[in-house]
Amino acid sequence: MTNLQLIATCPMGLEAIVARELQDLGYSDTRTENGRVNFAGGPADICRTNLWLRTADRILIKMGEFEARTFDQLFEGTKAIDWAAFIPKNGEFPVQGRSHKSQLTSVPACQGIVKKAIVEKLKLSYKTEWFPEDGELYAIEVQLLKDRAQIVLDTTGPSLHKRGYRKLVTEAPLKETMAAAMVLLSRWRPERPLYDPFCGSGTIPIEAAMIGWNIAPGLRRSFTSEQWPIIGQTHWDDAQDEAFDAVRDDVPLEIAGSDIDAEAIEVALAAAAKAGLAKELTLRTLPVAEVKLSGDYGCIITNPPYGERLGTEREADRAIRELGDIVEAAPSWSVFALSPSKEFERDYGRPAQKKRKLYNGRIECALYQYLGPLPPFRNQERE
C-alpha cells in the first residue's frame, strides 16, 4: 500500500501548475496528461496532497487499467482488482462512469458491470452474499477512452476548490482553484502589493493571502478518505500538524480588492472572516474608475466582468478600458487579467506581453499579462 498510482485531476490548462505544485511538495516523478497529473505515493501522500494542492480538483487512486472492448473484458478486468484491500465489508461503493471513443458506449451499462464485478470479488474475499453499504464512502469511477478502461477511486469527496471558507456565492463566482492558479502564474510575492478591482466574492485576494501565509487550502475542510482504515488517522494527523506548522502568519500582507457590487463585497467580507483573514484584507465597494493604486511594483490580479458572465457587452468593454486607465497612473504595476474577450487588448489600450489559454469553467479565456518592472529584490522573483 506504499506505492499507489495517484492522479491529481485539474481543469484543462492547469496541468503544468499542478505538476509544479507536486514537485514543490517533493514529488519529482510526475507525468502530465490532459486534465490530470500522475504521481506515485502512499497513504500519507493522499493526505498531504489533498491538504496542499491549490489548483487540482481531486486526488484519485488508479485501481486498474486494461483493454475493454466487450462487457466480458470490463467485468473480468474489474474483478481482477484486489478490492478488499481498500473497501471494508460495510463500505459504500457507488460507481459512476464516462465513455469516449469506445465501443462500450452505454455508460449506465458499464457502471452496472463494474458494480457487479466488484460485488463478486468482495463476495470471494469476505465470504458473504450481502453487503449493507452503510459505512464510509468509496466513490468509484470507470473511465473508458479508446477501448481502454481505467478504474479510479476518489479520495477527496467534494472538489478541492471547496475550501470551506465560502458559504455564499455571487452571481458568477471564480473557482478557488482558478484564482490560486492566477496568483501562482503571476509574479506576485507577499512583499508586493496586490489589488483586485473586480474582486466579486473576494476569491483572488483570499487565495493570495493563503499563498502569502503558506496556508494549506484544505485545512478548513474534510475529505472522503479521512475515515478509511487503509489510510489511518495518524497519517491525517501528521499531515495536518505539518500544515499548521508551515503557516507563516507573521508575514505582512498588502492585499486589497473592490467591486461596484455592494452585495458581492458583503459576501467577500464574510468569506475573508471565515478564512481567518478579515484583518489582513481591505475589501470595499468602489467602481473601477475610482480606484487609486498605492505603492510601487504591485500586481493587479483580476477577472473582469464580461457579457457572458455579468452585465452587457458594452459595460464589460468599458470596465476593461477603465482598468487600463487606472494602471496608466501606476507604471510600476503589473497586470494579470483573465478574460474570454477577443478584444481585451483593444479595450485595455495596448497589447499584452504574454497570453496564456485557460478555461474558466467551460469558457475559453486568456490570462493577459502586462509585466511592469521588477522590484529591487529581483533575485526573489520567479519569472
Residue where one domain finishes, among candidates 154, 187, 203? 154
239 located within any domain: no
Report pLDDT for 316. Answer: 86
Counted domains in the chain: 2
| Same domain flag for 326 and 357 | yes
Do the beta carbons of residue 364 and residue 357 sit within 8 Å? Answer: yes
Ramachandran angles phi, psi of 175, nearest 5°: -65, 145
Ramachandran angles phi, psi of 348, nearest 5°: -70, -35
Output the domain CATH number for residue 364: 3.40.50.150
275 located within any domain: yes
Q: Residues of the chain whose pLDDT is less than 70? A: 1-2, 168-172, 307-312, 377-383
| Same domain flag for 115 and 17 | yes
Beta bridge pairs of residue 137: 92
Q: Which residues contact 5 (CB under 8 A, 6 or more apart)?
A: 38, 40, 61, 62
Residue 297: closest CA among 191, 383, 160: 191
Report pLDDT for 1. Answer: 63
| Same domain flag for 199 and 132 | no
Report pLDDT for 167. Answer: 78
Which set of grid coordinates corresponds to residue 147? 477501448
Report pLDDT for 118. Answer: 98
Report pLDDT for 383. Answer: 44
Output the domain CATH number for residue 112: 3.30.2130.30
141 located within any domain: yes
Rounded to an integer, what distance in angstroms lies between the CA atom of residue 285 and that of residue 198?
10
Q: Which residue has the cell 464589460?
A: 316
| Same domain flag for 263 and 309 | yes
9 located within any domain: yes
| Same domain flag for 38 and 111 | yes
Ramachandran angles phi, psi of 87, nearest 5°: -100, 120
Q: Name the residue range of residue 20's domain.
A: 4-154
Rounded to an integer, what distance in angstroms lies between the CA atom of residue 383 and that of residue 362?
28
Q: State the DSSP string of 265-309.
A: HHHHHHHHHHTT-TTTEEEEE--GGG----SSS-EEEE----TTT
| Same domain flag for 48 and 149 | yes
Q: Which residue has the cell 505582512?
A: 252
Report pLDDT for 306. Answer: 79
144 located within any domain: yes
139 located within any domain: yes
| Same domain flag for 91 and 121 | yes
| Same domain flag for 81 and 203 | no
| Same domain flag for 42 and 96 | yes
Report pLDDT for 381. Answer: 46
Q: Which residues contact 337 (CB under 8 A, 6 or more apart)?
A: 300, 301, 302, 303, 304, 320, 323, 344, 348, 367, 368
CA angle 17–282–295, rounded 5-degree value: 80
170 located within any domain: no
369 located within any domain: yes
Beta bridge pairs of residue 92: 137
The distance in angstroms from the start CA to the end CA of the chain is 39
| Same domain flag for 202 and 105 | no
Local structure of residue 225 (DSSP, 8 states): G
| Same domain flag for 189 and 92 | no
| Same domain flag for 119 and 201 | no
Report pLDDT for 173. Answer: 77
The dihedral sign for the CA sequence 299, 305, 308, 312? negative
Rounded to an integer, what distance in angstroms lies between the CA atom of residue 189 and that of residue 382?
9
Q: Which residue has the cell 474534510?
A: 222
Do the beta carbons of residue 367 and residue 182 sit within 8 Å? Answer: yes
